[in-house]
Amino acid sequence: MPALTDSVIDDTNVAGTPAPLIDPYGRTVDYLRVSVTDRCDFRCVYCMAEEMTFLPKKDLLTLEELDTLCRRFMAAGVRKIRLTGGEPLVRRNIMQLIRSIGGEVKAGNLDELTITTNGSQLGKMAGDLYDAGVRRVNISLDTLDPDRFRKITRWGDLDKVLTGLEAAREAGLGVKINAVALKGGNDDELGDMLAWCGEQGFDMTIIEVMPMGDIGTENRLDQYLPLSRVRADLSKRFTLTDIPFRTGGPARYVEVGETGRKLGFITPLTHNFCESCNRVRVTCTGQLYMCLGQDDNADLRKALREGGDAALDAAVAEAITRKPKGHDFVIDRRQSGPAVSRHMNVTGG
């Protein structure tokens, strides 16, 4: 395993192979999403307030701890890992972790290592990601209009992201575009974005706003656009055919007849997508959330730092017994605040 320079933990308590992770509803958990940082170089209006206070470094898992955690989940049967943030590619020395875990993909011990990113760092990192074993990136992009992009991200530069997209394609990375549907923000542009994705050879996923964390003066109810309405509008322009394609994530997919590409819909508010949930999330502070829309969690950082691999395995196994059947996201005039208090940039997308 390549040396990771954040810190070195005591690995004298090395556990054997843990049992597979099967929740109370018989679902096998084989997909792990890990937030590596809460920091981001954007301040998207649906994600966080413009003036954010980020966590002190001591609260974050070190790169060594993140590596150990991923490997213990792999030992328990996890086959897909997604690194998220915040913006994961702004974390210092993050390529060391990506190379380490990517080596397991090359060795056949992991099916896939993917990255969710805003694209701002891809211009300089796309080639390194491919060389490390990453074959696919999800890029958050809510508009192709530079002025709108600046308004939605507050700090973002669309040209830089588009340059990163081209660098990803040239490096051989598969690209999927994730767009959050925003009422009055980009709803009139989603059809043009879908057509553009077809021209570029990209799949696309459209996501409803998620009621997570305080976003300052913005109101999520004002932002909320049901994807049933989005699909109805897109169907006037495109031929959308339901297909059984699944990636292990929550999206339901259609094929776009005019482009031949896939379009996914993630609908945490209009449709509970939990019946086949096979994933859990670990925050950048080491909290394991068995459900994105619930507050119940397990402290893996404490287990890792105080008990090593055996304690970590035990904490994960116990937490999986508490994985709920589904989430309880609601957004309406009576419930326009966050359903859970933590921000998406801490939990990981």
- Report d(CA 25, CA 217) in Å as an integer: 40
CATH topology for 31-175+276-347? TIM Barrel (3.20.20)
Phi–psi pair at 54, nearest 5 degrees: -90, 165
Tell how strand 203-207 and strand 262-266 pair up. Answer: parallel
**Alpha helix segments (H runs only) across the chain:** 63-75, 94-106, 122-132, 146-153, 158-171, 190-200, 220-223, 227-235, 300-320, 344-347
List residues bridging with 53 in a β-sheet.
Answer: none
Report pTM: 0.86
> Which residue, 277, 310, 346, is CA-closest to 35?
346
Q: Can you give the pLDDT of all 349 residues of the chain as single tens digits? A: 545 655 433 443 456 799 999 999 999 999 999 999 999 999 988 888 888 889 999 999 999 999 999 999 999 999 999 999 999 999 999 999 999 999 999 999 999 999 999 999 999 999 999 999 999 999 999 999 999 999 999 999 999 999 999 999 999 999 999 999 999 999 999 999 999 999 999 999 999 886 544 444 455 567 788 899 999 999 999 999 999 987 656 788 999 999 999 999 988 654 555 677 899 999 999 999 998 777 899 999 999 999 999 999 999 999 999 998 875 544 444 444 444 444 455 555 5
| DSSP 8-state symbol, 4 | -
Domain boundaries, the chain: 31-175+276-347
| DSSP 8-state symbol, 90 | G
- Containing 255, the helix (H) or strand (E) segment is strand 252-256
Q: In what order do the strands lie in the sheet with 297-299?
A: 240-242, 252-256, 262-266, 203-207, 174-180, 136-140, 112-117, 80-84, 31-35, 279-282, 287-289, 297-299
Q: SS in 3 state form for 264-280?
A: EEECCCCCCCCCCCCEE
| DSSP 8-state symbol, 88 | G
